[in-house]
């Protein structure tokens, strides 16, 4: 026997984010950073399986602690198969000057990622045909 015909959730929208978890998050992000740095080092030494392993550990910590992996570190592994992406070895970077973006293709699973990059930077980085990429420099 409920008298209310419909329930209006007004004021129940407060996001309750556990502040007490803040410290844990800090520790987690520190560990994630360290693991990703290790992954980078392993990859640079040619040990990609170890690099993959470090990425998987970092992801596990990230999920457990609900501490997101920083964007710039996310770029280091495939978002589809979570393998470490090393340009030229496990990933291929294609510059799509038409779209003004960089496409990174994982050579393990074929997954793609796009990065928007600053057009001015794109030009200095690869110097493409200028007509394909209409560069408008910001003034001011
Ligand atoms: Zn992949």
**Which CATH code of 1.10.10.10, 1.20.5.420, 2.60.40.10, 3.10.20.30 fits the domain covering 23-74?**
1.20.5.420
Total-model pTM: 0.63
Confidence of residue 54 (pLDDT cuts 50, 70, 90): very high
User: Which residues lie across from 95 on neighbouring strands?
Assistant: 102
Within a 13 Å sphere around the CA of 125, how many CA atoms are in the beta-carbon half? 14
The model's confidence at residue 4, banded by pLDDT at 50, 70 and 90, is: very low
Question: Separation of 57 CA from ligand 1 center, angstroms?
Answer: 17
Find the 77 Cα to ligand 1 centroid distance in Å. 8
CA of 72 to the centre of ligand 1 (A): 17
Of 39-43, 52-56, 136-140, the range with the lowest mean pLDDT is 136-140
Stretch(es) of the chain classified as CATH 1.20.5.420? 23-74
| DSSP alpha helix (H) spans, 45-126 | 48-65, 71-74, 119-126
- Ligand 1 mean position, distance from CA 127 (Å): 28
pLDDT digits (tens, 9 = 90+) for 56-106: 999 999 999 999 999 889 989 999 999 999 888 999 988 888 888 888 899
Ligand 1 centroid, distance to 114 Cα (angstroms): 13
Q: Helices 22-44 & 48-65, crossing angle to 10 degrees?
A: 170
Residues with CB under 5 A from ligand 1 (ion): 78, 80-81, 106, 108-109, 111
Q: Which of 51, 60, 72 is nearest to 31 (CA)?
A: 60
């Amino acid at each position: 026997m409920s008298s209310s015909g419909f329930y209006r959730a007004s004021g129940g929208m407060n996001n309750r984010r556990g502040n007490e978890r803040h410290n844990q998050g800090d520790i987690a992000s520190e560990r994630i950073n360290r693991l990703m740095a290790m992954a980078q080092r392993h990859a640079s030494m040619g040990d990609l399986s170890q690099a993959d392993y470090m990425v998987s550990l970092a992801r596990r910590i990230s999920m457990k602690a609900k501490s997101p992996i920083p964007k710039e570190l996310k770029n280091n592994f495939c978002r589809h198969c979570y393998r470490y992406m090393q340009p030229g070895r496990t990933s291929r970077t294609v510059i799509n000057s038409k779209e003004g973006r960089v496409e990174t293709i994982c050579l393990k699973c074929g997954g793609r990622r796009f990065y928007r990059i600053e057009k001015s930077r794109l030009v200095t980085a690869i110097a493409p045909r200028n007509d394909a990429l209409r560069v408008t420099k910001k003034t001011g």
